[in-house]
Amino acid sequence: MEQAHDTIDSQNKLRTQGMLGCGLILAAIGIWLVFNMLSTSEHNEHGASVESSKTAVHGDNDAHQQGDHSHHASSAEVPAFYSVLPFVALLLCIAVLPLSARTEHWWENNLNRFKVAAGLGLITLIYYAFLFGHGVDNHLTHGKSGPGLSAAGVVFVNAMLVEYIPFITLLFSLYVISGGIVIESRLMGKSSVNAGIIAMGALLASFVGTTGAAMLLIRPLLVANVKRSHVAHTIIFFIFAVCNTGGCLLPIGDPPLFLGYLRGVPFLWTLKLWPMWLFANILIVTIYFVWDTIISRKENAEAFISNGQGEPAFRMLGKLNLLWLVGIILCVATLDPNKPFPGTDWKAPLYFREFLMFGLTICSLYFTTSQIRLKNAFNYDAILEVAALFCGIFICMQTPVQILNVYGSQLGLDTPTKFFWCTGFLSSFLDNAPTYVVFFETAKTLEPTGTIVAKVSETFLIAISLGAVFMGAMTYIGNGPNFMVKAIAEKNNIRMPSFFGYMFYSFAVLIPVFLITTLIFL
């Protein structure tokens, strides 16, 4: 009894910590919003002046614009190729440090992960401050910095304020809210049951996001397989489908498609990807079923016998969190600061969307009882791991993304197949959201043919969308939910493969699936 009270006290402490953290962030965002509103008039006047200058300079025909772009690409100041070394080093740390007996336990500490990621990010900023020697485009103000420390500051702003904060806010909100939903059942980890859970997650991923679907179903999957000895391959296939290939039907399904929506792709256009979505996910689930059927023969018969007689066959606790999840989805879909709210001329202030998302997260923490999160064995370790590593990833990848922005049009990409595989390969290592943007902009520089969507040939846009979403599954860092699911599985005493061990599975399973998809659809 005393142990149970201690556990509940611990969960109450977690809830208090979460609410306090969200409250502090809300206060900071609130101060920013007030400052932003006070400076709105000045910003609008400046913006009108800049827009008028842009109109005067760029009010020529399309041919002239293409000529300007070619000149920009040839004369642009791009980082030296050695500047990608911090990014490569960070990838190697993620891949190698967990493999060594000397560093394995050290690396498990999120503070140590943060030290490595932040240190390599600092090296990248030092490069921009003292070696780059040119200005950098500011994605927040749409201006350009001077060289030196100013350039380093803008790189930090681009990485952290423009990209990292929206990214981690969305993941954190979905992680906490879905962590307050418990699905209980008497299902045991038979091949058919596991395949059904993975298939259900692949369907949900497009409608509640890959993060939401993953956080909602990973724990029921773990509980169903608690008596099994061989579980890691099930988690890997779960990452393949639920965290990646399932999320391509709507822009809210995966971050790359959301960025495309913000760049003019119609909200429902992605529904055209349903044949590829259906084909790839059926193949993945079928391969899993065959694979697990063979492996399950090694298990003891007791692994598939339920001890839950007398309990409900299915029960969902924390249903109110479904309301908060819907609120998160609406925030993401409608409150982009660069786009008017649907049906109005009003644009949400910067970080207003994140402000509301943290508010919904606080509602989830407040209204969800500790007992529910206790059943989920909820803690913040998995999201802290993602937050610690991706702060460095977003900074370090500024140099390779900037290089690709300039040289992307010179890569000889002139067919959907090339766009699919190039976008997919880089999405495996650069995070699929910024990679999507690079190739989306590259496709806009090419002569459009056939049906045009958002100034891009539809065949190219299909290939880019599929490459970014599907091949985010190739590595642990290809998509944010991949790392979360891995961390949750390891906290439940499942020994997951290393960075390269995971790639053995992804190459063996996904490359053939993607090759067949290419031959049929692209």
If pLDDT is split at 50, 70 and 90, which confidence band does 33 have? low
C-alpha to C-alpha distance for 382 and 492, rounded to whole angstroms? 11
C-alpha to C-alpha distance for 438 and 423, rounded to whole angstroms? 9
Query: Phi and psi dihedrals of 317, rounded to 5?
Result: -110, 155
Residue in 244, 368, 252 with CA at minimum distance from that of residue 316 = 368
Question: What is the average per-residue pLDDT within 201-217?
Answer: 87
Question: What is the average per-residue pLDDT within 241-260?
Answer: 88
Note the pLDDT of residue 50. Answer: 40
Q: Which residue has the higher pLDDT, 123 or 397?
A: 123
Within 10 Å of residue 150's Cβ, how many Cβ atoms? Answer: 16
Q: Which residue has the higher pLDDT, 38 or 174?
A: 174
Averaged confidence pLDDT in the chain: 81
Length of the chain: 522
User: Of 31-45, 258-272, 316-330, which one has max mean pLDDT?
Assistant: 316-330
Question: What is the average per-residue pLDDT within 450-460?
Answer: 91
Note the pLDDT of residue 174. Answer: 82
Asked whether the beta carbons of 174 and 215 are under 8 A apart, the reply is yes
| Secondary structure string (H, E, C) spanning 108-173 | CCHHHHHHHHHHHHHHHHHHHHHHHCCCCECCCCCCECCCCHHHHHHHHHHHHHHHHHHHHHHHHH
Examine the pLDDT at 254 and tell me if it is beyond 90: no
Note the pLDDT of residue 484. Answer: 81
Residue in 121, 167, 76 with CA at minimum distance from that of residue 393 = 121
Examine the pLDDT at 40 and tell me if it is beyond 50: no
Residue in 100, 150, 108, 144 with CA at minimum distance from that of residue 125 = 150
Note the pLDDT of residue 36. Answer: 53
Question: What is the average per-residue pLDDT within 330-359?
Answer: 87
Question: Which two tokens mark 65?
Answer: 């614009």
C-alpha to C-alpha distance for 215 and 176, rounded to whole angstroms? 9
If pLDDT is split at 50, 70 and 90, which confidence band does 27 have? low
What residue type is 508 in one-letter code? Answer: A
Q: Which residue has the higher pLDDT, 38 or 517?
A: 517
- What is the share, in percent, of the chain residues with pLDDT greater than 90? 33
Note the pLDDT of residue 303. Answer: 65
Asked whether the beta carbons of 429 and 396 are under 8 A apart, the reply is no
Examine the pLDDT at 383 and tell me if it is beyond 90: no
If pLDDT is split at 50, 70 and 90, which confidence band does 101 have? confident
If pLDDT is split at 50, 70 and 90, which confidence band does 83 have? very high
Residue in 322, 361, 174, 311 with CA at minimum distance from that of residue 255 = 174
Note the pLDDT of residue 266. Answer: 84
Note the pLDDT of residue 52. Answer: 43
If pLDDT is split at 50, 70 and 90, which confidence band does 61 have? very low
Examine the pLDDT at 69 and tell me if it is beyond 60: no
Question: What pairs with residue 317 in β-bridges?
Answer: 182
Q: Which residue has the higher pLDDT, 141 or 367?
A: 367
Note the pLDDT of residue 59. Answer: 42
List C-alpha distances in Å: 91 to 21, 88, 256: 29, 5, 21
Question: What is the average per-residue pLDDT within 212-233?
Answer: 87
Beta-sheet pairing, 182-185 with 314-317: antiparallel
Query: Phi and psi dihedrals of 316, rounded to 5?
Result: -115, 125
Examine the pLDDT at 345 and tell me if it is beyond 60: yes
Note the pLDDT of residue 240. Answer: 96
Note the pLDDT of residue 256. Answer: 84
Note the pLDDT of residue 237. Answer: 97
Examine the pLDDT at 103 and tell me if it is beyond 50: yes
Note the pLDDT of residue 15. Answer: 57
Domain ranges within the chain, ordered by starting residue: 79-318+368-521
Query: Phi and psi dihedrals of 183, rounded to 5?
Result: -110, 115
Note the pLDDT of residue 44. Answer: 46
Question: What is the average per-residue pLDDT within 239-260?
Answer: 88
Note the pLDDT of residue 406. Answer: 79
Question: What is the average per-residue pLDDT within 326-331?
Answer: 88
Residue in 303, 278, 251, 307 with CA at minimum distance from that of residue 453 = 251
Sign of CA dihedral 299, 491, 113, 117: positive
Asked whether the beta carbons of 151 and 116 are under 8 A apart, the reply is no
What tens digit of pLDDT does each residue of 84-95 get? Answer: 999 889 888 887
List C-alpha distances in Å: 58 to 50, 66, 203, 264, 452: 12, 11, 44, 20, 22
Question: What is the average per-residue pLDDT within 209-221?
Answer: 85
Question: Which two tokens mark 479?
Answer: 């998509």
